[in-house]
Chain A
Amino acid sequence: MSSETPVLDQDGMQRALTRVAHEVVEQNPDAEIALVGVQRRGAVLARRIHPLLEELHGREIPIGDVDISLYRDDVASRPAAPVVHATHLDFPVAGKTVVIVDDVLYTGRTVRAAIDAVFAFGRPAQIKLAVLCDRGHRELPIRPDHVGKNIPTAHDDRVNVSVVEIDGNDSVVIASR
């Protein structure tokens, strides 16, 4: 039997993102921050918090996104070659505090791939991780620096994040099997 449990609605998502933006600026007051979203929903969330982040930080923050398909560790074990989305990183990452933004943190494998992707463009001073939801069940020694919402889940639950820009609405839902 499957059931869906709503976790965040539009307002909840907005509040969570706002808190993340404040945290990023408070904890990195003097850093040269750069924002990198993970394609595709992480990239959307990065673009959402970008204006607020610039306002709070009081300076320009470069923003880009990475597609991690070419950096995955499971390329050979998936049924078909994944669609590769564009990677846009048109600023030098060297010396920056790069904040990676993603929608859901789960095993940590996507984040590992995103870190590798950022390193292909240069050597940042630091890399931080901001996520909308942390659902646990890490398989790698990776932890988030900024979390919008912690969600306890079972291993076989699915956490579905929808964003207006792609899915037509804002929501986070746990689908249990």
Chain B
Amino acid sequence: MKDLISIDQLGRAGIERILARANEVSQVASREVQKVPALRGRLVANLFYEASTRTTSSFELAAKRLSADVITLRASGSSVEKGESLKDTITTLSAYSPAAIVLRHPCAGAAALVAGWTDAAVINAGDGAHAHPTQALLDVHTLVNRIGDLTGKRIWIVGDIAHSRVARSSAVAFGLMGARVTLCGPPTLLPPGIGAALGCETSTSLERLGEADVVYGLRMQLERMEGVAIPSLREYSSYYMIDSGRLSSNQLVMHPGPVNRGVEISGAVVDGPHSLISEQVASGVAIRMAVLFELLAGGDVSKQHHETVMA
């Protein structure tokens, strides 16, 4: 596997392999020296065409814990603002011989395109409303570590389904692990046919939210709301906000962050005992270490000059 573009390419076995790896590498953080030399001397380039806090920082930290060198380029303040094309930026970046390029881009399909232009491993850190595989992996990792086997568990993903790559990736990943996923949101933010496409049920109301074992809130992506998808945020909140009144005490709550408190989820729920949001952030580093290690450790055998046997 050269690149990680979407969660589908992993399948259940691939997801489980990366979760197991994440559990082992996460131990590194508890050592006196929070670093292992596994990827020493290799370059990881983060290329972010959209704002991001936790994805960039967790990829940086993951690469550093594995002793890789990291450079992070953001579209704002770089030559991208001066009109450089994606292809030219990748060509420029490739001159630094990165082992991996971590790409976030507003257009669906950008990561797959870039993967064909470079020898580096390409990790999709979000492409438009298409996919965000490491988010899906860390969501599954968080949930499995909390409740174990997901077979038959009911997971409701609530909110702005239309603009959400997280919904697309995580719904597929939860489904591959045996969970039953329901996508819920206002009709204008729930594209027709998406349930069938992702193998999920759909709902436009929270009436049956009580059946959920896990409630996954999505961020209202205000920056992507072209046209009028909802009358007002206040109206959205009155029908769809996840708050303590709508939750029972045995339901767990997840959210990919950043949270709009009081819009898609109430502050009390975010900080409450059923929230897995900080666990998700912690899992993010472990999962990204596991993915970097999976893609970068193990090279092209044909390039080997000599085999070194360790015993």
Contact = CB atoms under 8 A, between A and B. Distances in A.
A105 to B, nearest CB: 8
A115 to B, nearest CB: 12
A121 B28 contact: no
B16 to A, nearest CB: 13
Interface stretch (A14-22, A47-55, A78-86, A169-177): A78-86
A68 to B, nearest CB: 8
A107 B310 contact: yes
Contacts of A69: 38
Contact of B33 (A74, A87, A104, A120): A120
A26 interface: no
Interface stretch (B3-11, B76-84, B296-304): B296-304
Interface in B226-254: none
Given A67-B24, A84-B25, A87-B27, A79 B298 contact: yes
B311 A76 contact: no
Contact of A159 (B27, B298, B311): B311
A159 B309 CA distance: 12
Given A78-B299, A84-B25, A70 B32 contact: no
A72 B38 CA distance: 7
Interface residues of A, number: 34
Contacts of B295: 81
Contacts, number: 86
A84 B294 CA distance: 10
A164 to B, nearest CB: 21
A107 B309 contact: yes
A71 B36 CA distance: 6
Interface string B14-40: 000000010011011001110111110
Contacts of B297: 75-76, 78, 81-82
A4 interface: no
B32 A120 contact: yes
Interface residues of B, number: 30
Contact of A107 (B31, B33, B311): B311
Contacts of B37: 70-71, 116
B25 A70 contact: yes
B202 to A, nearest CB: 38
A135 B27 CA distance: 33
- Specify which of B24, B299, B311 lies most central, judged by the most chain A CB atoms within 10 Å of its CB: B311
Contacts of B309: 106-107
A163 B298 CA distance: 28
A56 to B, nearest CB: 29
A121 B28 CA distance: 10
A74 B304 CA distance: 10
Contacts of A79: 298-299, 301
Interface string B273-311: 000000000000000000001111111010110011111
A77 B299 contact: yes
A80 B35 CA distance: 21
Interface in A59-112: 67, 69-82, 84-87, 104-107, 109-110
Given A78-B299, A81-B294, A110 B38 contact: no
Q: Return the 6 tightest CB-CB contacts between A and B, nearest first.
A: A106-B311, A70-B36, A81-B297, A80-B298, A84-B24, A120-B33
10 contacts: A75-B296, A75-B297, A77-B304, A78-B297, A78-B298, A81-B295, A81-B296, A113-B310, A121-B32, A159-B311
